[in-house]
Amino acid sequence: MKNLITTLRNIFKIEDLRSRILNTLGFLVIYRLGAHIVLPGVDPAGLANLQAQSEGGILGLIDMFAGGAFSQASIFALGIMPYISASIVVQLLGIAVPYFQKLQKEGESGRKKMNQITRWLTVLVTLGQAPGYIVNLKAQSPGAILMDGTGFWFTSILILTAGTLFVMWLGERITEKGIGNGISLIIMIGIIARLPQSLRDEFMSRLNEQGGGLVIFLVEIVALFAVVASVILLVQGTRRIPVQFAKKIVGNKQYGGVRQYIPLKVNAAGVMPIIFAQAIMFIPATIAQFFPESASWQGFAGTFTDFTSFGYNITFATLIILFTYFYTAISVNPNQMAEDMKKNGGFIPGVKPGKKTAEFIDDVMSKITLPGSFFLAFVAILPTFASLAGINSNFAQFYGGTSLLILVGVVLDTLQQIESHLLMRHYDGLMKSGRIKGRSSSAVGAAV
């Protein structure tokens, strides 16, 4: 406890770090205030049906990611998900389209161009989603619309689009002037905003005669902490893999005499596959909002809006596995790692430097990514089992799934950045060991 207090004091002794933390908190407060500003011409007292629609299923997840703004018909109702969708499209184009491949190789200038393309694509995606949201709003809560007409449509679409762009701008400002990844923090703060209400609802339901009592609730909390511990292990992964282990899994028996490590993670993709896959799973629900009276569309979308259905879970898990391989492929470059090893005098015993080392690293990554992707997919669909076990659907989302994975991943990433600021100025880190993740002190690890 004393060490924690000392660390907190050290954090606020560093002017730059203190300024970044306060900037981050300030931007997040602005976002949370905006999430409660209702669209002009909408009566918040008449949104009961929309709120009921957003209590469970995939629309409940959308509302969670938007921090409750979706069910409140807020100016931030569409949240940051249009930007996530645009980012997915641009990254996929980076694999298939030569122009985008060229931009990826241009360094900082290419990155700026791709960011600008992502922003413009976000505008188009939001302009496409905003009318669907208004159609669904009118179908679910017609009494909430105070002034229907062309003017309402035009202003609502314009405000929803501007709201998403403002949230995107807030995220970029947090990344630039704050601490942590701004977009991820905005998603995380929306998830946290739902936790107290979900916890209270689950607690009250267990106190009912049919709920099982306080003992069952305590068992659920213990199970939740166990899942959180597993998710932390999954998100952190391992920062280094023993060379001997790497050679075993690729069938190379030449171990070498020195115990060395390769700086590869079992889960190199982090939580990005979850975010990408979840954005894809939102598409049927988004399209269904345009056809609220269509039984055929509602029936098709129903399969993919019920997160406990078999179709939803098998599709979601498959997308996560595919996106894990995709994101690992674009974030881990074996050729660059092999070249860096060679330049810094590092090597893998029994493997020739250069092309052979790159092939070895690529082979190892392919094999360790498979179990990592399956574990990630399993954790992502855990809320289904929690819901089938009788846990409230909103609270069940915290038993793994997208919400918990993002929550843990973003918290760990932010803490790691704070710790880096402390260590650079010769202060103790947030953990007694001075590192949130394990150290990588081997010759091979130091070479990369």
Q: What is the pLDDT of residues 152-172, one digit of tens each?
A: 899 999 999 999 999 999 999
Mean pLDDT of the chain: 78
Q: In this predicted structure, what is the pLDDT of residue 306?
A: 74
Overall average pLDDT of the 273-293 stretch: 76
User: What is the tally of structural domains in the chain?
Assistant: 1
pLDDT digit string (tens) for 72-112?
889 999 988 889 888 888 887 877 788 888 887 787 888 88
Q: In this predicted structure, what is the pLDDT of residue 445?
A: 33
Q: In this predicted structure, what is the pLDDT of residue 173?
A: 92
Between residues 37 and 207, which one has the greater pLDDT?
37
Strand, coil or helix: 258: coil
Would you say residue 339 has pLDDT above 60?
yes
Q: If pLDDT is split at 50, 70 and 90, which confidence band does 27 have?
A: very high
**Helices and strands in the chain: count of H runs, count of E runs:** 20, 2
DSSP H stretches of helix in 237-354: 243-250, 272-288, 295-305, 310-331, 334-343
What's the token pair of residue 393? 């659907």
Q: In this predicted structure, what is the pLDDT of residue 381?
A: 87
Q: If pLDDT is split at 50, 70 and 90, which confidence band does 256 have?
A: very low
Q: If pLDDT is split at 50, 70 and 90, which confidence band does 260 have?
A: low
Would you say residue 440 has pLDDT above 50?
no
The C-alpha atoms of residue 348 and residue 260 are separated, in whole angstroms, by 8
- Cβ burial, residue 342 (10 Å; 0-12/13-18/19+): middle
Check: CB of residue 217 under 8 Å from CB of residue 203: yes
Residue 265: Cβ within 10 Å count: 22
The C-alpha atoms of residue 435 and residue 89 are separated, in whole angstroms, by 35
The C-alpha atoms of residue 273 and residue 329 are separated, in whole angstroms, by 12
Overall average pLDDT of the 281-287 stretch: 77
pTM over 0.85: no
Non-local (6+) Cβ contacts of 444 within 8 A are 243, 260, 261, 262, 263, 341, 346, 347, 348
Overall average pLDDT of the 231-250 stretch: 59
Overall average pLDDT of the 202-224 stretch: 80
Q: In this predicted structure, what is the pLDDT of residue 26?
A: 93
- Tell me the residue range of the domain where 435 lies: 2-447
- Residue 396 is part of a domain; what is its CATH number? 1.10.3370.10
* DSSP per-residue codes, 116-133: HHHHHHHHHHHHHHHHHH
Phi and psi (nearest 5°) for 262?
Answer: -105, 130
The C-alpha atoms of residue 146 and residue 304 are separated, in whole angstroms, by 32
Would you say residue 326 has pLDDT above 70?
yes
Would you say residue 120 has pLDDT above 90?
yes
Q: Which amino acid is at 50?
A: L
CA-angle at 361, arms to 359 and 365, nearest 5°: 115
Q: What is the CA radius of gyration of the chain?
A: 24
